[in-house]
A and B are shown apart, each in its own frame.
Chain A
Amino acid sequence: MSEDIILSTSGLTKEFAGFTAVNGVDLSVKRGTIHALIGPNGAGKTTCFNLLTKFLAPTRGSIVYNGRDITRQKPAEIARLGLVRSFQISAVFPQLSVMNNVRIALQRKRGDSFDFWRSEDVLRSLDKEALALVEAVGLSSFADLPAVELSYGRKRALEIATTLALDPEMLLLDEPMAGMGREDIERIATLIRKVSKNRTILMVEHNLSVVASLSDRITVLARGQVLAEGDYVTVSKDPRVVEAYIGSGVGHGH
């Protein structure tokens, strides 16, 4: 079971006018692992991520999730299959309270919610579960606050609580630590490790120390192609990787 592949791509390619952002990427993510996608700026990580989450349509290649071809699926549909993404810019519902942010995800269990004639009191049964999730990310004292009033780090925490409310089989995290202070980073890293039990996580992340401590497997992208793959020790010693990072002229905090 541990060698089981949950998500794979073959020959995944995305061309924008006159520019190939992602070029023939073959990626395999093993079930139950934390897999990181790294690379210097402009390597195509975010494009790759958007292809996997269906927010972009690939020019060529295919994506298979749990044995099902999802290459042409719409974003809402893959969420329904248990493949849920987070966003780089904190993605909360700013005017909804912290509680209702989480509850809107729990509400998905009811299926579609087109019942405009029913009172929202029917959602009360979800409150307990919502609060438990809010508490799990350390936000219980902010439960009634509109999400817009949270600090950046707490918005990220709320976003993770909302994502977990869907109980997804696989999480795709887009730079979960972007713009965070050291204290927040440690808290979110602990949280990611905690939720990775019984789940698969694929993340794009800039912070290499986070990648080193969290990931089971790392894929390095450069100029839209896979440069290297393996665990952190293997990858960090690969001369091509070192060169790609130095060549890009961007320093990364260790």
Chain B
Amino acid sequence: MAEVLPADGSVAHAAAERSTASLHRNVMIGIAIALVIAPFVAYPVFVMKVLCFALFALAFNLLLGYGGLLSFGHAAYFGMASYVCAYAAKHWGFNPEFAILAGTCVAALLGLVFGSLAIRRQGIYFAMITLALAQMVFFFSLQTPRFTGGEDGIQAVPRGKLFGMINLADDRTLYWVVALIFMGGLLAFYRIIHSPFGQVCKAIRDNEPRAISLGYRANQYKLAVFVLSATLAGLAGSTKAIVFQLASLTDVHWSMSGEVVLMTLVGGLGTIFGPIVGAIVIVSMQNFLATLGAWVTVIQGVIFVLCVLLFREGILGVIAKWIKKPL
């Protein structure tokens, strides 16, 4: 076996990590540039929709890709945040920043409560508990029309003035705010998975009993990553409510939970940027194939099956394999 001097090993190790980090930095800069150009070449509301769902998919991927926890009820945090944000903006007259903050905080709290119940079980049981709790949120939303507007949802949510100064009624103006929120969410996600905390989460994802045997209290880390994921999902849901001026039952429906799973898998589970690609693909498909009506769902189903059968790593997972670097 070829032995390498410790100094060389250390240098090689640092160099490998640096080159990956600089690749990621370049991709981030590329995304920022794309965000600047996007509203001039595409319909801003469409791009904002993509960004909200991309943020939602990032949140989901934080939990599944880096925490190893498959939640099948992420619509609960997305949708509840959407309701709270819409309600606060419409009925309490909150400024958009506070309405979004309120929605996000409620999602975090909900994540704390649901997470502490769900992490007691593993694998499929964990997924089923998250689904059951999310269904409770759905029926709660259905049964409390005074809060959620029932079947009508909360409509005509005022976009208001950011910090009481900047009028967000104009799509272009709102776009920059949403782009900043998205970029902030992406950077937060990147930091979390590259923090000392993220390291422990990845270890628990890879081999929970071993992480425990090293003295890590796995459940506390799982709960923490669950809450962080719910919070990011809440940020996405709140922002969505302001963009579309609407919060509805669709946001808390189980099919929303399914959609975010689909986006993450198509883009690349456990990749950093994959869920963004997945969100672009799925949202574009829904928009451009809208004329086909119910067939969109069928096409989505086919894509899902193809994805699982042919390229399980997702679009970016395949590319990452080509260039031999994590994306």
Indicate, yes or no, whether A interacts with B: yes
Verify B4–A113 contact, CB threshold 8 A: no
With contact pairs A120-B196, A123-B196 given, residues A143 and B12 touching in the complex (Cβ less than 8 Å): yes
Q: Which of A36-44, A89-97, A219-227 contacts B (4 or more CB under 8 A)?
A: A89-97
**Chain B residues, Cβ within 8 Å of A127:** 10, 13-14
Proximity string of chain A (118-136) to chain B, C-beta cutoff 8 Å, 1 when within and 0 when not: 1110110001100110110
**Distance between B327 CB and nearest chain A CB, rounded to angstroms:** 14
B206 CB to closest chain A CB (Å) equals 4
Which residues on B sit within 8 Å (CB–CB) of A74? 217
Cβ distance B6 to chain A, nearest Cβ, rounded Å: 6
Are the C-beta atoms of A107 and B9 separated by less than 8 Å? no
Q: A53-B213, A76-B215 are in contact. Are A94 and B200 (CB under 8 A)?
A: no
> Does residue B207 face the partner (Cβ distance < 8 Å to A)?
yes
Is residue A179 within 8 Å, beta carbon to beta carbon, of the partner chain? no
Q: Is A16 an interface residue (CB 8 A)?
A: no
- Whether a CB of chain A sits under 8 angstroms from the CB of B16 is yes
The answer to whether B224 and A114 touch across the interface, beta carbons within 8 angstroms, is yes
Name the distance in Å between A213's Cβ and chain B's nearest Cβ: 23
Also in contact, A92 and B215, with CB within 8 A (given A115-B196, A117-B191, A118-B196): no
Within 8 A of A (CB), among B157-207: 191-192, 194-200, 202-203, 205-207
Task: Say whether, besides A76-B216, A87-B210, A95-B202, A120 and B194 are in contact (CB < 8 Å).
Answer: yes
Q: With A140-B6, A143-B12 in contact, is A75–B213 under 8 Å at CB?
A: yes
Q: Chain A: which residue is nearest B200 at the CB level? A: A113
Check B209–A119 contact: CB distance below 8 A. Answer: no
B9 and A93 contacting across the interface, CB-CB below 8 Å:
no
**Residues in A neighbouring B195, C-beta threshold 8 A:** 113, 115-120
Given contacts A131-B9, A131-B10, contact A120 B198 (CB under 8 A): yes
Task: Output the residue of B1, B192, B207, B217 with the most chain A CB within 10 A.
Answer: B207
In Å, the complex CA distance between A117 and B190 comes to 10
Q: How far is the CA of A114 from the CA of B197 in the complex (A)?
A: 5
A79 touches B191 (CB 8 A): no
Q: CB-nearest residue of chain B relative to A108?
A: B215
Give, as a whole number of angstroms, the nearest-CB distance from A85 to chain B. Answer: 5
**Contact (A91, B207) CB under 8 Å given A75-B212, A116-B197, A119-B195:** yes
Query: Could you tell me the distance in whole angstroms from the C-beta of A192 to the nearest C-beta in chain B?
Result: 18
Asked if A116 and B209 make an inter-chain contact with CB atoms under 8 angstroms apart, the answer reads: no
Q: Which residue of A lies closest to B201 (CB)?
A: A116
Tally B residues with Cβ within 8 Å of A. Answer: 39
The reply to whether B212 and A93 contact each other, CB–CB distance below 8 Å, is: no
Chain B residues within an 8 Å CB radius of A104: 199-200, 203, 211, 214
Q: In the complex, which residue of chain B has the Cβ closest to the Cβ of A165?
A: B214
Per the bound structure, the CA–CA distance linking A91 and B202 in Å amounts to: 14
A5 interface residue, CB < 8 Å from B? no
Q: Would you call A99 an interface residue if the criterion is a C-beta within 8 Å of the partner chain's C-beta atoms?
A: yes
| Also in contact, A76 and B218, with CB within 8 A (given A85-B213, A87-B213, A117-B191) | yes
Residues of A within 8 A of B16 (CB): 144
Chain A residue contacts of B199, Cβ below 8 A: 96, 100, 103-104, 107, 113, 120, 123
Interchain CA distance A138-B4 in the complex, whole Å:
10
Cβ contacts B213-239/A at 8 Å (1 or 0 each): 111111011001000100000000000
Chain A residues 136-158 with CB under 8 Å of chain B are 138, 140-141, 143-144
Give B224 Cβ to nearest chain A Cβ, in Å. Answer: 6
Given A114-B221, A116-B228, 11 other A-B residues pairs in contact with their CB atoms under 8 A: A55-B209, A76-B213, A85-B213, A92-B210, A93-B210, A107-B196, A118-B196, A118-B197, A119-B194, A119-B195, A162-B214
Which residues of A pack against B, CB within 8 Å?
53, 55, 74-77, 79-80, 84-87, 91-97, 99-100, 103-105, 107-108, 110, 112-120, 122-123, 127-128, 131-132, 134-135, 138, 140-141, 143-144, 162, 166
Could you list some 13 contacts between A and B, CB below 8 A?
A77-B215, A79-B212, A85-B213, A91-B207, A91-B210, A92-B207, A93-B206, A94-B207, A103-B199, A104-B211, A127-B13, A131-B13, A141-B3
Interface on B for A, CB 8 Å cutoff? 1-4, 6, 9-10, 12-14, 16, 191-192, 194-200, 202-203, 205-207, 209-218, 220-221, 224, 228
Closest 9 CB pairs of A and B: A79-B215, A93-B206, A116-B197, A113-B196, A91-B210, A80-B215, A116-B192, A104-B203, A116-B195
